[in-house]
Amino acid sequence: MASSTGSSIQDSFLLRAFDAAKAANHIWPEFAACEVALESAWGQSHLALEANNLFGEKQHATNPIFETLDMPTHEFIHGQMVPVMAHWVKFPDWQSCFKERMQLLYRLTVFYSAALSASNGTDFIREVSIHWSTDPARADKVLMIHSLHQNVFSV
């Protein structure tokens, strides 16, 4: 079902991401689908296309998982967007990406305990975004995607 404000391509992406998130037992799968819409430019980023890396998850330095894809990115550092080289996880599929994301949140409960115990998707997004991204507007952007496409998930 296409949303009135989004394209059917975006809706299809969200449904595919939602299904992968549910299959991986990700909490708040519809909100996780909206996260990856933002993080992966609706699945069109080089990282998403080449590495099934929808969240922009960097490779673990001490204990790498799956393969690694090296490529540049931009991050907010001291209030400015600057270019940096990064090592990214190359996932075999979307479900693996969502599964590893949940495992990472649980491994880093010192940062993500409030997100993991959130009683609703909005609080989850607000809490997880504090440490997940250097973009200070990330939570608002994800919640806007959810607001514009929420009827997609009620099919």
Could you write out the DSSP letters of every residue in the chain? ---SSS-HHHHHHHHHHHHHHHHTT-SSHHHHHHHHHHHTTTTTSHHHHHH--SS-PBPPSSS--SEEEEEEEEEEETTEEEEEEEEEEE-SSHHHHHHHHHHHHHHTHHHHHHHHT-SSHHHHHHHHHHHH-S-TTHHHHHHHHHHHHGGGGG-
Q: What is the pLDDT of residues 5-46, one digit of tens each?
A: 457 899 999 999 999 999 999 999 999 999 999 999 999 999
List the chain domain ranges: 8-56+93-149
Question: Which pTM was predicted?
Answer: 0.88
CATH 1.10.530.10 fits 8-56+93-149, yes or no: yes
